[in-house]
Structure 1
Amino acid sequence: MRFSSLSIKQKLISILIIAVLASTLLVGTVQQFIARDMMETNMETAQLPNMVKQVANRVDKEVTLMKSVAFSIANNPDIIAWSAAGADKQGENRLVNYLGEIARFNDLTVTSFVDRNTHKYWNQEGFLRVLKNDQYDGWFFAYKDSGQETSLSLYNEPGQGYRLFANYQQTNGRGMSGVAKSVDELVDVLNSVKIAESGFIYMTDGEGTIIAHSNTDLLGKSHLRDVTSGQTANQLLQQQTFNLARGEEMLYASTYVKSAGWYVIAQVPENELYSQMDNASLSMIFWSLVIAGGFALLGVWLAGTISKPIENLAAVFKQLGDGHGDLT
């Protein structure tokens, strides 16, 4: 049916409905694009950076404290002089009490001192043993020969939970110390963080090996590239305060914890970021149709009141044209 063949009433109704639908959908579409852009910008520049940095700050706090404690024990001149003089029993009691006080004050599960020359090993419970280069104590000799002052590791030990270990050694001296702390609370915080519906946060070491994750099967076995991709892993494993990367369906973010040499990683499916926006779009379409229907009914009434006098006048002129009209 051609538009020109419609009655005045039908034309008015059609124009009114089209105007209402077009304006409502146009405004809604523009608002959706603006809101989506703002949401994406906010997620990439505020929410994700804040989430990973909050966890990173917690890790940095724990690591810095433990490294400081290990440093102070390993460089304690009284302990080193006592060990060099033969490590008598009286001095051993003082050492054990000292290690115990440090453990209690700093909420540590282990505080220890090792003489790098004699390989004698004490912790807060007393003298343990003389370390030997075997399957049990090989870590000591590997660390001693590494030439590195500090060593950090995070383990999920059966029956013990997550424990963070920090070691310090005098590379040109005889002092070495190791401290450990339960960090289940920190890992619980990490695992409890939810981004959108299923996004989460985890940690890797400096090489990208996963060391803290809600899926414990990945710990110490899987690399970041195994759960993302090689390109994404390279983008995330940059020693920057914030890194952002996009996978095929995921949005990733990371931050480097300088004190530990580790990375805090966040990932979230991109479609989940806009799920609420999509639901709002469907709601907008529904209400647009409802509003258009309401205005259509109003338009029918208005069109009737406007077009009826015109139609009556047209009928009169038609009668006049046919010679049947009466102007009196």
Structure 2
Amino acid sequence: MSISDEDLSKTIEILTDLLSDARYLANDTKAKQAVEKLKQLEANTLTISTSDITTILDEEFKVLVARQQENALKAISTEREEVQKKMLDDVKNAFANMQTVTLHHLDQIVATKMSEIQQVAEKEKKELTEISAKGKQQIEEEIRKGKGVALSEEETETNTKQRELEKYLRDDLVSFYRKYHSTIPVSPLVEEHDVPLLDFYVQPPLSSVDIQKKFGRIQESRTRKQVHNLNDIFLKPDGKIYKDIYITAKAGVGKTSFVNRICMVWCQAHCPQKELENKFKPEEVTVMKSFTCLFMITLRDIDTSLCNVDDMIFNQIIRNLSRFRRYNEIFIEDILQEKDCLL
């Protein structure tokens, strides 16, 4: 039985809406937990623990060892019966070959056969001990292998899902920025009339000043360097990326338009459109490929009650993406922590 991604997404959405009923399930803890599990399933972050796999392997090998012990006991029991039968046959032969059987002779025969039985019993005990030890060793070895395989497969599957989720996020961000940040107003006084940004944008003169902090003191380079492209803004002379960049200018000069153009360069780097190639310099597109994700937060439009950057990203960007239910807070935190992002 299988289900398509689209049907699964619709089903999860219906169940989420049902379990999120504010009238009847607002205070239902199990409903909230179920909603959280559904979100994890939709985001491909719900995994089966290795302890479950280990338990199954353990039970399976216990059954295997029990079966081996049972077979061994059957074989030993058969061998014991054969020895006892041989002992009786020998006694019968002894009686048949002797005209007179003394008590001493009988004691010798019985002692010999009892010794053989004792040897069989000791052999049985030894074989059972060996089977138990071997079975335990096999269980431990297979559990270790099972854990290794389970962890390896789980890590591979998790990494694959993580890469898929990152691609979905990049695609959604590209669509969002191209829809809402690809135009500029004809005039600050006539904001309702917008035109394509890349057709009318002219970069104003920019100059950079390298500011470094050493021993608690801020040292500012006295020389100003002319900015010709984005490489001059983002890359240090040694090729490393600046961690903090501040753009200052008077109101109305074009800071927002400049940032919108950076968004367009990032979109072209991760989702190129052939008709826009002549709008960007190749080195600008290359440097934008260094950033896994770009999050543009417009502070003048942000909710003043939000003080955390993660909350701002969720409120202004993530909630407006087409697949926003896939991206939970932990996923966004991991992206910001582990990947090179432009904020």
TM range (shorter): 0.3 to 0.5
Larger RCO: 1 or 2 (CA < 8 Å, sep 6+): 1
Calculate the TM-score normalised by the size of structure 1. 0.33
Query: Higher strand fraction: Structure 1 or Structure 2?
Result: 1
Greater share of helix: 2
Give the structure-2-normalised TM-score: 0.31
Larger Rg: 2
